[in-house]
Amino acid sequence: MLEYKINIEKKNWIYRMKTKILIISFCLFTASAFSQEFISDFTWNFGFTADKLSEYIPNNSYKGFGIEGRRFFDKNISGGLSFGWNIFDQRIAEPIIIDEEGFSGTISGTQIRYVNAFPILANAHYYLGKRKDFRFFLGGGVGVYYILQRLDLGVWSLESNNWHFGLAPEAGFLIPFGDGESNIIVTGKYNHAFSSGKTIGGNEDNSYSYWSLNFGFAFSSRF
């Protein structure tokens, strides 16, 4: 009987401890969750074409923007999602030279070359510095790029639109102003969309690369 009572008390004690641990864990979890920082930012993106993209469109572009949300897992590490849109286009008057088996040719006329890139990336960043202070960060994104490639030549238009797997290493900084929750954000990012099909010219490698220099505002808050 005594043994039974001890067992009951022991079980109650274990139950109480478990309950306490659960409550403490829940409190800690919710406290940390509700006090985690969240940053949303909007940037104007300047694009600088690289590699194969620079062969197709040598011009750089000021036409681009990005939207991003970052949630902090601890003081220095965040994860989030980003979406962007970069437009590259150029009017080109150079003739197209064709060299095929059996014949060669030249096509002259006004060309307008376009590439529209839409990166949708999951990102992660590591920060140096404290909230409401100047913060430098390093990180990057991984995800997909939807890329529209088009060539207008005379009255003709050729298009090749594809989804690509892509990576985007990134570095940047946040400069707080006002109440410290508003920031100027400046980032540099290298975007690489891996090949996923043919170019409109029939080339087997339709990978795209471009650098982007992004300026904007970031808003920090705690939930």
Partner 1 sequence: MKKLLKWLFQASILSILILSLNSCYNDYGLTTQDYDLVSTFFKKGVDFKKFQSFTLLDTVMRVTNDGEDPDDVDTRFDKQILDDVKRNIKNYGYTEIKQEDVDSTNLPDVVLLVSSVSSTNYAYSPGYWWGYWGWYPGWGYYPGYGPGWGGYYPWYPGGTVYSYSTGSIFIEMVDPTDIDVDNRRVNLQWGAGINGLTDDSSQNLSRRIKEAIDQSFKQSPYLNIN
Binding site for partner 1 (CB under 8 A): 40, 42, 44, 63-65, 67, 85, 87, 89, 91, 95, 98, 100-110, 112, 114, 116, 148, 150, 152-156, 182, 216-217, 219, 221
Least gap, CB of 199 to partner 1 (angstroms)? 17
Neighbours of 194 (CB within 10 A): 14
Neighbours of 17 (CB within 10 A): 10
Q: Tell me which residue has tokens 């590490």.
A: 77
State the Cα–Cα distance between residues 218 and 44, nearest whole angstrom: 12
Least gap, CB of 15 to partner 1 (angstroms)? 42
Looking at the Cβ atoms of 65 and 173, the one nearer to partner 1 is 65
Looking at the Cβ atoms of 124 and 153, the one nearer to partner 1 is 153
The candidate with the shortest Cα–Cα distance to 69, out of 86, 78, 82, 59, is 82
State the Cα–Cα distance between residues 139 and 76, nearest whole angstrom: 11
Least gap, CB of 108 to partner 1 (angstroms)? 5
Least gap, CB of 67 to partner 1 (angstroms)? 7
Looking at the Cβ atoms of 47 and 139, the one nearer to partner 1 is 47
Q: What is the CA radius of gyration of the chain?
A: 26
Q: What is the DSSP letter of 61?
A: B
Residue 19 DSSP SS3: helix
Looking at the Cβ atoms of 76 and 182, the one nearer to partner 1 is 182
Q: Tell me which residue has tokens 């707080």.
A: 176
Looking at the Cβ atoms of 141 and 216, the one nearer to partner 1 is 216
